[in-house]
Structure 1
Amino acid sequence: MKLIAALLTVYNRKDKTLKCLEQLFNNNMPQGYLLDVYLVDDGSTDGTAEAVKNNFPQVNIITGSGNLFWNRGMHRAWEGAVAAKTYDFYLWLNDDTFIFNDTVEHLLKCSEELNYKSIVCGALCSENDPSKVTYGPRTKNTLIVPNGTLQEAFLINGNVVLVPKVVYDNVGMLDPIFPHAIGDFDYGLRAKRKGFKSYSTKKFIGTCENNVSLPKWCYAKTPIRERFKALYSPLGNAHPRYFFIYENRNFGFLQAFKHYISIHLRVILPQLWK
């Protein structure tokens, strides 16, 4: 019997969390596999934890501090899984991502083709436009559109990702130095340096809608004090300290320093960017 640990971190999206879990548990689980779920509720105030407990009592709920955000929450869920059992796979899943009924089976088939030695990242589309790729594996410049084959990725979005045990054994978990964003990109690049590649699924395996707006710090209409506050928020997507660590680690000091300066220039003079 092979064991899969699904990892989620959630905050105040009760309805989406319940829908996400429902679709996960309704998946066609291949024979010979068992799925456990480790969910970090990071201080939700909308009754998410209670609703999950009532509807899915089999879920292992871990209570967060309210300051974990995505990456540190996922790291905490991963810690919980590792402490409980030895798993053959770790499945990252965002609670705003709704997978199809055959998603787990497809991920495992892709992993089998790769001899269970590579990361498999799920390609996601818009529910309103099934031909539009929204999240998933990336080349250096763009999202990968699934074409029926396994395509090697340069970066991975963390919405739906299958990590086999051999990758975890050599790479470890998501790095908790990153609070919210960047940790998924960093993990794929760390794995690559260890000799483990990442690939796209052969087809779309679920839906997730794009966040169409830029962070507040990108807009000239936002007062400059608020722009700096937004930039240095864990949800700012390019927190200068953590983005510098990520780029310095993966692309070198010169690129990290250049973007550290350009990020601050954009906050000061956002009208220069279109």
Structure 2
Amino acid sequence: MKRIAILLTCYNRKDKTIACLRYLYNCIIPIDHNFDVFLVDDGCTDGTSTEISEKYPQVNIIVGTGSLFWNRGMYLAWTTAKNTKNYDFYLWLNDDTILSHQAIGEMLSCEKEQNSKAIVCGAFCSSVDSTFTYGGKTIDGKALIPNGKIQSCYTINGNCVLINKEICATVGLLDPIYPHAIGDYEYGLRAMKHGFDLITTRTYIGHCEGNNLLPKWCYSSTPFIERCKSLYSPLGYSHPKYFFIFENNHYSLKQAVKHYMTIHLRLLIPSLWK
């Protein structure tokens, strides 16, 4: 029997979290596989844990500090799972993601087809117009639209990602230095440095609505003090400290310094960017 650890983290979006779990438990799982769910409640005040405990008592709920955000919350879920059992697979899952019945089966099939040498990134589309929202992308940032075949990618979104235990043993876990963003991209690049491939699923495996808005610090209409707070918030997506670490580790010191400067230039004069 192959065992899968499903990893989630959540904060105050109870309805989405419950919906995510409902569709997860409706997935068709290969007969020789089973899964356990490890969910970090990072300080929810909306009764998320209470309702999950009532509806899905089998979920392992982990109490966070209230300041973990996505990456550090997922790191805690992953660490807890690893210390619980010897799992064959780990699957990251965002709690705003709606899986199709075939989602996990498709990911396992893709992983097997690549002889267990690849991380599988699930492709997702909008439920409104079926356009691509999250999944794998090329080196120049273009979305890899599912075409019925396995496609290699350069970066992965962490919405739904399957990692086998051999890759985990070699690459390690998400890097907890990053609070919220960057961690999924960083993990994919680190895995490639170790010789593993990144691939996307052959089909869309569910729905997840995209967020096309830029962070508040990118808009001239946002007052300067608020722009500063937004940029240095864990939710700013380009926190100068963590983005510098990421680029210095995976690209070059020159690129890290360049973007450290241009990020702050954009903070000062957002109108320079369209």
TM-score when scaled to structure 2? 0.99
Q: Which AA in structure 1 matches 2:240?
A: P
* Aligned residue in 1 for 2:137: 138
| 3-state DSSP of counterpart to 2:210 | coil
* Aligned residue in 1 for 2:107: 107
Q: Where does structure 1 differ by over 4 angstroms across 4 or more consecutive aligned residues?
A: none
* Aligned residue in 2 for 1:53: 53
* Aligned residue in 2 for 1:182: 182
| 3-state DSSP of counterpart to 1:24 | helix
Q: Distance in 2 between matches of 1:265 and 1:65?
A: 34
* Aligned residue in 1 for 2:92: 92
* Aligned residue in 1 for 2:207: 207
Gaps of 5+ in 2: none
| 3-state DSSP of counterpart to 1:210 | coil
Deviation at 1:143, TM superposition (A): 1.5
Matched, 1:20 2:20: yes
Q: Where do residues 154-233 of structure 1 align in structure 2 (5 Å cutoff)?
A: 154-233=154-233
Q: Distance in 1 between matches of 2:40 and 2:115?
A: 30
Deviation at 1:193, TM superposition (A): 0.3
Q: Which AA in structure 2 matches 1:176?
A: P
Q: Distance in 2 between matches of 1:46 and 1:142?
A: 37
* Aligned residue in 1 for 2:126: 126
Deviation at 1:213, TM superposition (A): 1.2
Q: CA RMSD in A?
A: 0.6
Q: Distance in 2 between matches of 1:248 and 1:197?
A: 22
Q: Distance in 2 between matches of 1:270 and 1:117?
A: 43
Matched, 1:80 2:80: yes
Q: Distance in 2 between matches of 1:181 and 1:51?
A: 28
| Matched positions, count | 273
| 3-state DSSP of counterpart to 2:127 | coil
Q: Which AA in structure 1 matches 2:137?
A: R
| 3-state DSSP of counterpart to 1:84 | coil
Deviation at 1:71, TM superposition (A): 0.1
Q: Which AA in structure 1 matches 2:38?
A: Y
Q: Which moved more, 1:141-150 or 1:229-238?
A: 141-150
Deviation at 1:212, TM superposition (A): 2.1
Q: Which AA in structure 1 matches 2:122?
A: G
Gaps of 5+ in 1: none
| 3-state DSSP of counterpart to 1:170 | helix
User: What are the superposed Cα offsets for residues 72-119 of structure 1, whole Å, 9 maximum, x if unpaired?
Assistant: 000000001000000000000000010100101110000110111210
* Aligned residue in 1 for 2:272: 272
Q: Distance in 2 between matches of 1:256 and 1:197?
A: 25
Q: Distance in 2 between matches of 1:84 and 1:202?
A: 32
* Aligned residue in 1 for 2:70: 70
User: What are the superposed Cα offsets for residues 42-96 of structure 1, whole Å, 9 maximum, x if unpaired?
Assistant: 0000000111111100000000011000000000000010000000000000000
Deviation at 1:172, TM superposition (A): 0.6
* Aligned residue in 2 for 1:11: 11
TM-score when scaled to structure 1? 0.99
